[in-house]
Structure 1
């Protein structure tokens, strides 16, 4: 075999847009189709809105208008407007932008001048229009290439900037925006910027009390152990309380950016809360008891923040600024003073907090014995765990494919066998359920250790002590599209909501869509996920094609299954719209109450040979399924 030549001709220089399109993951993280909240299409939207937020932070533009359809985005702010002579440069030249002038932008989100250019390069249609002092300038692009430059003209429009874009479908295959994910992003923007109004798809979003409002929206208010503690200072805002749920629930932000993976500020806050509470009560509580069931939000503003990636989901900065204190010291000093003062002034809150900590302590000691036995059993089983076919890469590694890591939870050996044979052994693992799992509604976490299947699943996920070291980014429930499969799906969702709600809130739990029909003739095969797709396929192929109805995952051959869990995998995210988990589970998984029976009688529809696809599994208002009856 001839040796490859390596010389001057081997070195290739890419222009800005070529590099972004060749390595989009470097700039926007995961590509995806929009079924996950951290998919690239939402990062594109965030990059544009961040610029408008920075205008608001600098004191201009109190309103932002955002419109998002399935595939098109429009953002209009009323800030200062891009200087008209630099409209094209600001969206098409790397290292061009106002953020390099520290006097023009203080403590902004985007500092490297890449975000808007990445959106431009990764869109088939991109327009930018600036309105400034009675004049306006517009330019149009496609895949980063200028397609039309409009002449500068007069305008009566208010100052500001308008950007429209359509992500490139050759990069974001089969993408669509899920409104719930966009809405959560919008809420976070207004919680972090009190006084800002965002009109999203003609609906108004506004917050008066910042992070206090965030917790009121995110928490199950009926289960809070004491009123929300809300503390504000220069460059820092904190809100916290304790609930009844398992685990810890944090919402952390830096310069308005939602740091979904935490970072130095979140770690400092967790440490500071434990330290302050120990000193206040003069007792060396176990850190896990202090933080168990905590619900908190922390926001800091840092000069020149250092994030661990362009997508800015984890803060890496150690200092608040070039000449400022460390993040750890800054957060610790603030929490120590403000939280300590608050607890001294509010004896009722201090007493309720103490009782919550003592309850966590009792619960931990109560399961200590069974926990040790179960863990020993799980360690032995993990050596020969027949339920788990693991993959080579894990989410808590530094591997470049860590975001692709997926655990399929399947029912029975036939389904798990098909997935196991067709999976990507690098990033896809399979956990096989023996049958219908236990309905764990209203049971304590003790059952996770007493039930061998739950215990093995907990260890496979590596979430016993929190989700920081989660083994798989995507947890996919893969069941048959029949009544039994739907019931198993509900039982598994109950397990996650009851004991590991953080996994659902963080967007790690999905339902696998598998085709319901195969329509084919001698030339072409089309897999259909709904009755509508089946009708379209029949119309396309014509002449009475062969139609197969898949009733179970085991009926699909491994060769075919490989088509459905690869690049074109269809996942429905499990979205918790309202955090009333207790009421939600009571309605679906509790005793068969007259209210639920009447709801089913009023709303049950049976349509012959008609299957409706689920675009997203939204856990909020009751949705009728036949097997609940």
Structure 2
């Protein structure tokens, strides 16, 4: 029988085989490096984490990272891995010193998996330990030991050196490190570990101000009041308010950036609300207090429990065995220190109160408009088919919730092609009607007065923040022409203006679709650039034809299916300095026509032989 279930059906994999077969269980995702959460950065982070843990235990104040095109070297000056256990520590799962809480009191890694995953997912991997004048080197290929050196004398300082090259067979032939993501990673390490110096190809990353420096780096416009910086044993907080919409948090546990938040971030959000209500002796709405807040919170706990191996969300409820809950620990610290700070800094207290009252007034002004918009949307939904929803959504326990995606397309033609071939379980489609409104400089009132934006906000379920976001990926899918680019810019402006946290949390993407189809009777090649088109033409030789796709509606459903399936190309929308977007938006979207005209004239390029560059077949 083809589907016989016998003893022969049962397989036992080695740890290395399992990691390579199911890498998502260990590093979250693969990816080619286009997104900050892609696996190649997780490999680097897992390696640096071990060195940072050494520093946290008082061993070594410098970590050196050397990055070439494909190879990474991380060298620390800690105690070095015990030489007799070097092979086991980098290749055998559930082996390490971090099970002994006396040795690593508050480290990031506790399960002995991280470095083994780095080893297994690397084409080549070398570990060298230098300890008390002796050294040992071990070499691996795709997680398999290929050479174990003997213990030898060494005059170098004690520490560990890890060298690895991520495996292109897993991450794709086009994978590459993006320096901006690595620099952000190293800055976070520096902010959280004052006294530690990290270098990237000789460039130093260090911080004297901790989380205050983190906010100052990410806030490049004037805030409503000076950054509040509070510190205590195992906790550090920095916070301020701006003039934007939404909430923005940077949360950390034992030096690990928990990009998805967790119990510590929830506890902080609640503690700020309770403290300010008590301080001002008024029961403000929580949303009014937190509107436009930008904050960073870092805690150190014993034996942290994360919701996945990638450690992006804290699940712990206690700061340590027998200790207080995280909610109690953070709540007590914020209540005591923030209350004292505001009593000592009246100007800050007054500015904070004015911001809360402004948010309260705006919320009340919007109340009537919001109710009318909801009634209109409810009525419209009976006849409006702009949203073709999927069945599984983010925030639910559905098996594929993390894959939930909303495509925002222009017009019914593109929506029809995409809807016909989408995965109805995880892919939803929202069709725009023409060009959306330019929202730059407008208040949130416009969302409720503009039916299309209100329907989009409702589809995403982000009116009250990201907690209710229904799709993990929000994908702008517009035509690759001038109008499509303009619509893309208008949509990005909308998110920047009113929901910047969607971008900050890495949920917004641009769909890349092919510009050309090059084919002959035997083979079809889809090309995303002029260079790819020329290469495809050369590969197919004489007798091929070239089709230029002007819009998504021209691509048949059978073709479109491949572009939104396993081979989907998504470009993440990211902004390193989120609050530096005001000047950028003001230039491109504001009323500064003479300035823009001057820029266009100064940068205009004329292609004299444009027609000759196109092949006759095009």
**In the comparison of the two structures, how many residue pairs are matched?**
608
Instruction: Give unpaired runs (5+ residues) of structure 2.
Output: 612-618
Greater shift, 173-182 or 398-407, is seen at 173-182
TM-score (norm 2): 0.95
2:297 maps to 298
Instruction: For residue 601 of structure 1, report the CA deviation from its aligned partner.
Output: 2.6
- For 2:67 and 2:476, locate their aligned partners in 1 and report how far apart those are by CA, in whole Å: 29
- Is the Cα contact below 8 Å between 1:69 and 1:177 reproduced in 2? no
Is residue 264 of structure 2 the alignment partner of residue 265 of structure 1? yes
- For 2:487 and 2:43, locate their aligned partners in 1 and report how far apart those are by CA, in whole Å: 36
Instruction: For residue 606 of structure 1, report the CA deviation from its aligned partner.
Output: 4.7
- For 2:363 and 2:73, locate their aligned partners in 1 and report how far apart those are by CA, in whole Å: 50
- For 1:267 and 1:201, locate their aligned partners in 2 and report how far apart those are by CA, in whole Å: 37
Is residue 134 of structure 2 the alignment partner of residue 135 of structure 1? yes
1:619 maps to none
Instruction: For residue 309 of structure 1, report the CA deviation from its aligned partner.
Output: 1.2
2:616 maps to none
Instruction: For residue 523 of structure 1, report the CA deviation from its aligned partner.
Output: 2.3
Instruction: For residue 220 of structure 1, report the CA deviation from its aligned partner.
Output: 4.1
Is residue 206 of structure 2 the alignment partner of residue 206 of structure 1? yes
Instruction: For residue 609 of structure 1, report the CA deviation from its aligned partner.
Output: 5.6
- For 1:212 and 1:277, locate their aligned partners in 2 and report how far apart those are by CA, in whole Å: 21
- Is the Cα contact below 8 Å between 1:415 and 1:553 reproduced in 2? yes
Greater shift, 114-123 or 60-69, is seen at 60-69
Cα deviation 1:237-275 (Å, max 9, x = unaligned): 000111111111111111011111111111111111111
Instruction: For residue 384 of structure 1, report the CA deviation from its aligned partner.
Output: 4.9
Going from structure 1 to structure 2, the CA distance change for 1:379 and 1:120 (only over 3 Å counts) comes to farther
Instruction: For residue 10 of structure 1, report the CA deviation from its aligned partner.
Output: 4.4
- For 2:53 and 2:602, locate their aligned partners in 1 and report how far apart those are by CA, in whole Å: 49
Secondary structure of the structure 2 residue equivalent to 1:100: coil
- For 1:204 and 1:543, locate their aligned partners in 2 and report how far apart those are by CA, in whole Å: 54
Going from structure 1 to structure 2, the CA distance change for 1:157 and 1:544 (only over 3 Å counts) comes to farther
Greater shift, 503-512 or 166-175, is seen at 166-175
Secondary structure of the structure 2 residue equivalent to 1:250: strand
Going from structure 1 to structure 2, the CA distance change for 1:383 and 1:358 (only over 3 Å counts) comes to same
- Is the Cα contact below 8 Å between 1:513 and 1:572 reproduced in 2? yes
Is residue 347 of structure 2 the alignment partner of residue 348 of structure 1? yes
1:43 maps to 42
Greater shift, 199-208 or 479-488, is seen at 199-208
TM-score (norm 1): 0.93
Cα deviation 1:69-101 (Å, max 9, x = unaligned): 554332222222212222211111112112122
- For 2:211 and 2:285, locate their aligned partners in 1 and report how far apart those are by CA, in whole Å: 27
Instruction: For residue 289 of structure 1, report the CA deviation from its aligned partner.
Output: 0.7
- For 2:170 and 2:386, locate their aligned partners in 1 and report how far apart those are by CA, in whole Å: 36
Instruction: For residue 562 of structure 1, report the CA deviation from its aligned partner.
Output: 1.3
1:417 maps to 416
- For 2:3 and 2:536, locate their aligned partners in 1 and report how far apart those are by CA, in whole Å: 49
Instruction: For residue 475 of structure 1, report the CA deviation from its aligned partner.
Output: 1.0
2:61 maps to 62
- Is the Cα contact below 8 Å between 1:480 and 1:553 reproduced in 2? yes
Instruction: For residue 3 of structure 1, report the CA deviation from its aligned partner.
Output: 7.3
- For 1:169 and 1:138, locate their aligned partners in 2 and report how far apart those are by CA, in whole Å: 24
Secondary structure of the structure 1 residue equivalent to 2:329: helix
For 1:165-180, list aligned pairs within 5 A.
Answer: 165-173=164-172, 174-180=174-180
Secondary structure of the structure 1 residue equivalent to 2:348: helix
Going from structure 1 to structure 2, the CA distance change for 1:284 and 1:312 (only over 3 Å counts) comes to same
Instruction: For residue 281 of structure 1, report the CA deviation from its aligned partner.
Output: 0.8
Going from structure 1 to structure 2, the CA distance change for 1:592 and 1:2 (only over 3 Å counts) comes to closer
1:554 maps to 553
1:334 maps to 333
Cα deviation 1:9-32 (Å, max 9, x = unaligned): 544322211222222222111233
2:75 maps to 76
- For 1:508 and 1:3, locate their aligned partners in 2 and report how far apart those are by CA, in whole Å: 40
- For 2:569 and 2:202, locate their aligned partners in 1 and report how far apart those are by CA, in whole Å: 30
- For 2:251 and 2:237, locate their aligned partners in 1 and report how far apart those are by CA, in whole Å: 9
- Is the Cα contact below 8 Å between 1:388 and 1:429 reproduced in 2? yes
Secondary structure of the structure 1 residue equivalent to 2:397: coil
Cα deviation 1:370-399 (Å, max 9, x = unaligned): 111212332344455411111111111123
1:187 maps to 187
1:617 maps to none
2:197 maps to 197
- Is the Cα contact below 8 Å between 1:70 and 1:178 reproduced in 2? no
Greater shift, 9-18 or 96-105, is seen at 9-18
Is residue 310 of structure 2 the alignment partner of residue 311 of structure 1? yes
Instruction: For residue 559 of structure 1, report the CA deviation from its aligned partner.
Output: 1.2
Instruction: For residue 154 of structure 1, report the CA deviation from its aligned partner.
Output: 3.1
For 1:532-551, list aligned pairs within 5 A.
Answer: 532-543=531-542, 545-551=544-550
Q: CA RMSD in A?
A: 1.9
Cα deviation 1:107-166 (Å, max 9, x = unaligned): 000000001111111222222122223332222212211122233333333222222222
- For 1:96 and 1:368, locate their aligned partners in 2 and report how far apart those are by CA, in whole Å: 57
2:114 maps to 115
- Is the Cα contact below 8 Å between 1:220 and 1:581 reproduced in 2? no
For 1:182-261, list aligned pairs within 5 A.
Answer: 182-222=182-222, 224-261=223-260
2:444 maps to 445
Cα deviation 1:448-491 (Å, max 9, x = unaligned): 11100000000111100001121111111111111111111110
- Is the Cα contact below 8 Å between 1:513 and 1:570 reproduced in 2? yes
- For 1:3 and 1:576, locate their aligned partners in 2 and report how far apart those are by CA, in whole Å: 50
2:529 maps to 530
- For 1:2 and 1:478, locate their aligned partners in 2 and report how far apart those are by CA, in whole Å: 42
- For 1:601 and 1:526, locate their aligned partners in 2 and report how far apart those are by CA, in whole Å: 37
Going from structure 1 to structure 2, the CA distance change for 1:460 and 1:68 (only over 3 Å counts) comes to farther
Going from structure 1 to structure 2, the CA distance change for 1:483 and 1:94 (only over 3 Å counts) comes to same
- For 1:531 and 1:471, locate their aligned partners in 2 and report how far apart those are by CA, in whole Å: 37
Greater shift, 341-350 or 125-134, is seen at 125-134
- For 1:380 and 1:34, locate their aligned partners in 2 and report how far apart those are by CA, in whole Å: 44
- For 2:205 and 2:405, locate their aligned partners in 1 and report how far apart those are by CA, in whole Å: 35
For 1:277-288, list aligned pairs within 5 A.
Answer: 277-288=276-287
- For 2:521 and 2:591, locate their aligned partners in 1 and report how far apart those are by CA, in whole Å: 52
Instruction: For residue 593 of structure 1, report the CA deviation from its aligned partner.
Output: 4.2
Secondary structure of the structure 2 residue equivalent to 1:96: coil
